[in-house]
Amino acid sequence: MTSVPSDAAGTPSPAPTPLAARSPYELRVDLGKGVPEADVRSALATGDMGFLHSFTTGSAVDGPGVRVVAWTTGCMFRCLYCHNPDTWTMSNGIPVSLARATEELRKYRHGLKVMSGGFTLSGGEPLMQHRFAIKLLTAAHAMGIHTALDTNGFYGDRLADDELARIDLVLLDIKTWDPERHRRLTGMEIGPTLEFARRLAARKRPIWLRYVLVPGLTDDDADIEQVAAFAAELGSFERVDVLPFHQMGRFKWQRLKLDYTLDTIEPPSQEVVERVLGIFRAAGLKAN
């Protein structure tokens, strides 16, 4: 018989939160809160431990083929439309050794190859834990698994050129073009993201642009035309994914008692999505 862990008073301890989740929309908080500060610092410096919201399987929208996705915690942006604000704080994630994360991935190795899929590291912002991020992507690469990094690019300069070579695809989120609008949307500057895009293009690294379409916030034609022109000129953007805003993350803002300002915003109509896809296509990009 398997014994159930209990405290000194005999009260059964709750089962640890599993690494696997049905989707990133599971609300997860404080799972790494007990980790001593010195251990967090060491994890960030060495990359031998990271903080993950979860692993999910079967994604068809986070890179080519069917993807296993590891969702990191920690983000320097505060996007008004963020669908997963529980991933903003690193200590909300599960502390996971690199060895454990690699073993988790190894389970899917054969299936991913058969389905021409791969592994995507997303978040949160994975480069908040850039040592862990690159070590995990390197491990995936060494197993022959296609690797993708989903990033806002703000800390792209933390990766060396030889590390970029181990990332088969960068899914780069460009939120808007206008610097002031970018500050209002995310709380941060747009410059580092664009600089990272230029650097990837100069090294001929494949990029997919991810553009979250939010009515009233990121649906300005002139602004989107600028994003499209930038991506087309760089030449490394293999495709554009226009991601329509939705309200699946609203409950997280409410449960975390965060000030959610998009309560009344509806997802964009198909007509608006088509119009935006048309702007990217008119610039010569493949857009879906």
Q: Which of 79, 139, 159, 276 binds ligand SF4 (CB under 6 A)?
A: 79
Q: Which is nearer to ligand SF4, 83 or 141 (CB)?
A: 83
Give the angle 261-197-194 at the CA atoms, nearest 5°: 50
Provide, for the chain, the percentages of residues in helix, strand and coil under a 3-state DSSP scheme, each rounded to the nearest 5.
40, 20, 45
DSSP E strand boundaries for the chain: 49-59, 67-72, 94-97, 118-122, 146-151, 169-173, 207-213, 237-244
> Could you say which of 56, 66, 98, 125 contacts ligand SF4 (CB under 6 A)?
125
Q: With binding defined as CB under 6 A, does residue 78 bind ligand SF4?
A: yes
**C-alpha of 79 from chain center:** 13
Task: Examine residue 62 and tell whether it contacts ligand SF4 (CB under 6 A).
Answer: no
* Residue 75 interacting with ligand SF4 (CB under 6 A): yes
Does 119 engage in binding with ligand SF4 (CB under 6 A)? no
Least Å distance between CB 87 and ligand SF4? Answer: 5
Nearer to ligand SF4, 122 or 147 (CB): 122
Range in contact with ligand SF4 (rule: CB under 6 A) among 79-87, 139-147, 227-235, 263-271: 79-87
**In the complex with ligand SF4, which residue's Cβ is closer, 68 or 128?**
128
Is there binding between residue 82 and ligand SF4 (CB under 6 A)? yes
**In angstroms, rounded to a whole number, what is the distance separating the alpha carbons of residues 284 and 27?**
39
Smaller CB separation from ligand SF4, 24 or 145: 24
Residues 6+ apart with CB under 8 A from 53: 21, 24, 28, 71, 72, 73, 84, 86, 87, 92, 93, 94, 123, 124
Provide the binding-site residues for ligand SF4, judged by CB under 6 A.
75, 77-79, 82, 84, 87, 123-125, 152
